[in-house]
Structure 1
Amino acid sequence: MTTTQKTEPQDVAKKTPKTASGGAPKSGAAEPVGEMRQRTEDYARLARRADAEAAVFRPRDLTGQARRLHVRSTIIEDHMVRIDQKAAGADEKFRVLSESFFSFFRGTSLLFHRDMAGEDARMPTVLCLGDVHPGNFGVMPNADNVPIFGVNDFDDVIYGPFVWDLKRGTAGFMIAAEVEGGLSRKKQRKIARHFLKGYRAGMSFFAEHNTERHVEMREDNCPDIIRPLFGKAGRSRERWLGKRYLDETGRGFRANDELTPVSSRTEEFQKLVKALAGQNGIEAGGRHGPLKVKDVAMRHGQGTASLGLPRFYVLLEGPSGDARDDIIIEFKKARRSALEGLVPAHDFDAGDQGDRIAHGQSVHLAQGDVFYGNVEIEGESFMSRERAPFRNDADLDDLSKKEWKRYAYACGHALAQAHARSDDLGQLDYDIEPAILQAMEPAKLFIDDILCFAEEAVERLRRDHAMFRRDLKLGAFEVTEKRYR
């Protein structure tokens, strides 16, 4: 087997430039580990080698202390900015990751996908969701503000082999069924199998009927297991705004542990909303109201993978003008996809940061949220979307054993539709559904291969989680790694 040190790039000693007086600097003896972009390129080279050579050494082949150092280094790298800036959300995220194995899985997508660097190059390419698990499906508004069910997190979208989403999703369902459902290993495998069967059935359906471009999973046509998630569809927007967001006057955001009003930035965000409306063809009037910004607030403590990243809520005046139907637009700092540089080489480009995320939503969802887009704030890319009173996802800990299977099947079907749209609204220039169905044959063998991969990944991640918890107690994530002369 071919091995390479680039699988886990090491910090190497280097000469420090001398000062004007000829001596070494007395301060700054330690400097941050190389740029994240350099590390990404290190792994991109590994991914290219995996495609070109018969066998390569990947991070998942590391064991013991070597694996522990890899886990530590990868998590520090993924949170480098948040750690250096002493972001409160970074400490909160590490606490969340420590307390729950499922949260650890959700919050360490980079660690998971580096173990797959360059794999599955022969498989058909789609616009991958990138972070598939039971919590990333749910009910959200479409372009007409009608609630629909589907994939709902596009932060990691990227073109890559369709099986990458199936591998991540299968592992995610196994871990969630264990942690949230308290189910045995045998039942976890059955649930994950239903996810894969739902995907295959969905892909077969869209190959035959070619309806993926326009069909939506609504309350009137969704599976019974999904219907309860539409329960918030009739929720009063006025009550939702008053209970969670608006101050007593109704003219701005309240201040609490989740929201910090920054009303002085209203004019700045008014320009951003105008630019977003221009990008997406949103016209003033109708349900969008005058597109007038009433207030701006910083939002704290939201998400799992994105905890600690800057996030703003912008309050738009609703059509009535009396705060009953105001609109909230979220602007969240966009990060690079965890799969960047790791997927096998292909001819498709989803864009960068916020543009990439907006592209993912426009491809994956029929008639999606019109406020999805990309703006620049203080020189950095931010994605945008509408918050809605009926956004909802499944309460996984309330699902029965049978409901877990039905929910997994429905999610597999929804993911199949997202992938099937890669050739309708994405960049693929050939019919993707027949290619995927052919690549999944023989079906029993394909499903067993994915299940075996996921079982190994889950056990590896379980050990990684124990290493992470030990390192967290020892202060490993309080500062970024340095290299010394």
Structure 2
Amino acid sequence: MQRIRQIEAELVRVDGKLGVGKHRKMLANPYVFMRGAAQLFYADLASGLLNLPQALLSVPLTTVMGDCHLGNFGFLTEEGSHGDQVIFSPNDFDDACIGHAVWDLARFCSSLLLCVDYCQGVSAGRYNNGTQCQGDPAVSQELGLQAMHGFLDQYLNICKASIDVPESRMQVLKLFKKPHLLAKKQKKAVARAAGGEQFHSKSALAKAVDLSQFPPRFRHLPDKFRPLTAELDASVRQAFAPYMDDAILDIVRRLDAGTGSANMQRFYMLVGPANCASPDDLPLCHVVEVKKQRQAAPLHWFADLSQVNQLNPAHLTAVCQRRMQRRPDLLLDEVYWQGEHYLVRSRHHARVGIDPEDIGLGNKAVRGGFVAYAQACGQALALAHCRGDRRSVRFETAMADLLPGHKEALIKAVSDYVKYQLDDCNLLKSLLKINS
């Protein structure tokens, strides 16, 4: 009963009430529950339910993702929609802050084990993912353990390399060759970038915008987009136009997007030349997201780690993302509007995300793809962490000294904690039933 009340308290604290659409999504399976309840992870750290090795908490603080899990990595273009270099990296910084790197390590490892449970459940018919995956080979618990080791080992390798050659932390992951599981995803992302063969059909711009009319406008997608009233349209334009790099051609309210931030107000803005009149102008157009930002998940429980974390939520996200990326989104900014803090950022043309089915189901997954994906994430995360302080290699040195001797303890702590996470989804079902 204590756990169910803790779940209720954390969900209500962040989302305002129980039973919102986001919570209904979280009933699907423990993996989705984890994605929607980052704040519970930090409550469990604060209470000691998840007890991380103390030695790893002594590593110098750095910029962390805050909501680090296997679904928050993917392909995107550097500099937002302004660049054409496709890379693999963290792609969600909504909960970024100055914190302990081991938080990200632990949360990612727990997501690997929850992915194993999910994929086994889909294969066995326990979970419904909306596709014909029942009976497909699914990753095993043993592969989950191997993936955690691979993730941590590659993370460590990047830290060690940065000690010897600090400039190496400015490298990026941009080339995956067959048979690597990510090679196909990378090819898809490259094709969607400006100038790519699928830019006009599969890019983020093409999916959201009708490119057959000029000037272009957002598509009629009632389940995703809602037109603005004339009054709201004028207010949004006035507030955010100075932060755009071109004219605002159209604006819609984005509905029910994401998992953790599904109930946060956001707008999509189509930005491009004011006289956009032909297909030749389309590569100059892009979608910009403006989203209300709330406090990063770790900070309710760990408010005093760094003075940087006192920045308003949108400003903190922008600062951390700029530090963690090699070439940050050129439009990344923050705006105070109608008493709330909003984050401005590009919707990458070539953005390609990773679903658990992509890495945990099928022959490629069970024959090394799952572990290879975890290794790639370990490299990408280490690069982001190492960029947090570019004046020295103190972070990398401490991590290289301490992680090898405490890796097994970290894996055990995560494995023990996942047992609670596997039950949380059912507890939420009971909680919603009690309150219905």
TM-score by length of 2: 0.82
Gaps of 5+ in 1: 1-64, 85-89, 278-283, 285-290, 477-485
State whether structure 2 residue 288 is matched by structure 1 residue 329: yes
User: C-alpha displacement at 1:344, in angstroms?
Assistant: 7.9
The letter for the 2-side match of 1:99 is: A
Q: Which amino acid aligns with 2:382?
A: A
CA distance in 1, matches of 2:239, 2:78: 22
Are 2:275 and 1:275 aligned? Answer: no
Q: Distance in 2 between matches of 1:205 and 1:166?
A: 18
- CA shift, 1:345, in A, is 4.5
Q: Which moved more, 1:429-438 or 1:344-353?
A: 344-353
1:449 deviates by 0.8
Against the structure 1 CA distance between its residues 194 and 204, is the aligned structure 2 distance closer, same or farther, given a 3 Å change threshold?
Answer: same
Q: 1:378 aligns with which of 328, 338, 341?
A: 338
SS of the residue corresponding to residue 339 of structure 1 reads helix
Whole-angstrom CA distance in 1 between matches of 2:166 and 2:392: 16
Change (3 A) 1:391 1:243: closer
- Kept after mapping to 1: 8 A contact 2:33/2:424: no
Q: Alignment partner for residue 270 of structure 2, among 311, 315, 325?
A: 315
Residues 170 and 450 in structure 1, CA contact (< 8 A), matched pair in contact too: no
Q: Is the 8 A contact 1:97 1:104 kept in 2?
A: yes
Question: What is the CA distance between 1:186 and its match in structure 2?
Answer: 2.4
C-alpha change, 1:153 and 1:243, in structure 2 (3 Å) is closer
Identify which of 219, 228, 232 aligns with 1:254. 219
Distance 1:344 1:94, change over 3 A: closer
**Identity value in percent:** 22
Structure 2 residue aligned with 1:404:
370
* Shift in Å, 1:126: 1.2
- The superposition leaves residues 252-285 of structure 1 with CA deviations (integer Å, 9 ceiling, x where unpaired) of 22332110122634443444444325xxxxxx5x
Aligned-pair distance for 1:438?
1.5
In the aligned structure 2, how far is the partner of 1:271 from the partner of 1:305?
29
Alignment match of 1:91 (pick from 13, 16, 20): 20
* Kept after mapping to 2: 8 A contact 1:333/1:382: yes
Once residues 133 and 222 of structure 1 are traced to their aligned partners in structure 2, the CA distance between those partners, rounded to angstroms, is: 24
Larger Rg: 1
Q: Aligned with 1:211: secondary structure?
A: helix
TM-superposed CA distance for 1:452, in Å, is: 0.7
Q: Does residue 439 in structure 1 map to residue 402 in structure 2?
A: yes
Specify the SS of the correspondent of 2:259.
coil
Correspondence for 1:359? 319
Taking the aligned partners of 2:355 and 2:393, their CA distance within structure 1 comes to 38
> Is the Cα–Cα contact under 8 Å of residues 225 and 403 in structure 1 kept in the other structure?
yes
- CA shift, 1:226, in A, is 3.1
| Contact kept in structure 2, 1:141 and 1:368, CA below 8 Å | no
Q: Distance in 2 between matches of 1:189 and 1:211?
A: 32
Amino acid at match of 2:299: E
Secondary structure of residue in 1 paired with 2:435: coil
Name 1:301's counterpart in structure 2: 256
Q: Kindly indicate whether the alpha-carbon contact (under 8 Å) linking 2:68 and 2:107 is maintained by their aligned counterparts in 1.
A: yes
Q: What's the counterpart of residue 483 of structure 1?
A: none
Q: Partner of 1:159: helix, strand, or coil?
A: strand
State yes or no: 1:459 paired with 2:410: no
Distance 1:469 1:394 in 2: 27
**Greater displacement, 168-177 / 259-268:** 259-268
Give per-residue Cα distances to partners, 1:104-135, cap 9 Å, x unaligned. 01111111111112874433211111111110
Aligned to 1:208: 164
Q: Does 1:166 align with 2:105?
A: yes
Residue number in structure 2 paired with 1:101: 30
Aligned 1:184-223 pairs, distance under 5 A: 184-219=140-175
Give the superposition deviation at 1:383: 0.9
Higher mean C-alpha deviation, range 114-123 or range 124-133: 114-123
1:369 is the counterpart of 2:329:
yes
Q: 1:116 maps to what in 2?
A: 45
Corresponding residue for residue 339 of structure 1: 298
CA distance in 1, matches of 2:369, 2:402: 29
Q: Once the 2 structures are TM-superposed, how far is the Cα of residue 98 of structure 1 from its aligned partner? A: 0.4
CA root-mean-square deviation? 2.6
> Is contact 1:331-1:382 (8 Å) kept?
yes
Tell me the distance in 2 between the aligned counterparts of 1:96 and 1:220.
Answer: 33
Q: Secondary structure at the match of 1:385?
A: strand
Q: Specify the code of the residue in structure 2 equivalent to 1:338.
A: A
- Residue 162 and residue 270 in structure 1: after superposition, are their counterparts in 2 closer, same or farther (change >3 A)? same
Aligned residues: 387
Q: Cα–Cα, structure 1 residues 214 and 122, in superposed 2: closer, same or farther, change >3 Å?
A: closer
Superposed displacement of residue 475, structure 1:
2.6
Q: Quote the offset at 1:348 in angstroms.
A: 4.3
Distance (Å, rounded) in 2 between the aligned partners of 1:348 and 1:431: 19
Q: Is the 8 A contact 1:97 1:107 kept in 2?
A: yes
Tell me, in whole angstroms, the C-alpha distance in 2 between the residues paired with 1:228 and 1:243: 20
Which stretch shifts more, 94-103 or 203-212? Answer: 203-212
Q: Which runs of 5+ in 2 are unaligned?
A: 121-137, 193-197, 360-364
- 2:190 pairs with one of 230, 233, 239: 233
Q: Give deviations 1:433-484, integer Å, cap 9, x for gaps.
A: 11211122xx1x41111111111111011222221111112336xxxxxxxx
Could you tell me whether the CA contact under 8 Å between 1:226 and 1:407 is conserved in 2? yes
Quick one: which amino acid aligns to residue 185 of structure 1? Q
1:79 aligns with 2:35: no
How far did 1:341 drift? 4.0
Q: TM (normalized to structure 1)?
A: 0.74
Q: CA deviation at 1:77?
A: 1.5
1:319 to partner: Cα distance = 8.5
Residue 227 of structure 1, CA deviation: 2.8
In structure 2, relative to structure 1, the CA distance for the partners of 1:430 and 1:223 (3 Å cut) is farther
The AA in structure 1 aligned to 2:356 is L
Amino acid at match of 1:432: F
CA contact (8 A) 1:266 1:294 kept: no
CA contact (8 A) 2:147 2:371 kept: yes
Q: C-alpha separation between the residues in 1 aligned to 2:259 and 2:299?
A: 20
Structure 2 Cα separation of the partners of residues 379 and 453 of structure 1: 41
- Does the 8 Å CA contact 1:263/1:297 hold for their aligned counterparts? no
Q: Which stretch shows the higher mean deviation, 314-323 or 172-181?
A: 314-323
- Work out whether residues 176 and 182 of structure 2, in 8 Å CA contact, stay in contact via their aligned partners in 1: no
* Equivalent AA in structure 1 for residue 255 of structure 2: H
Runs of 4+ in 1 over 6 A off after TM superposition: 220-223
Does structure 1 residue 155 correspond to structure 2 residue 94? yes
Once residues 410 and 174 of structure 2 are traced to their aligned partners in structure 1, the CA distance between those partners, rounded to angstroms, is 30
- Structure with a larger share of its residues in helix: 2
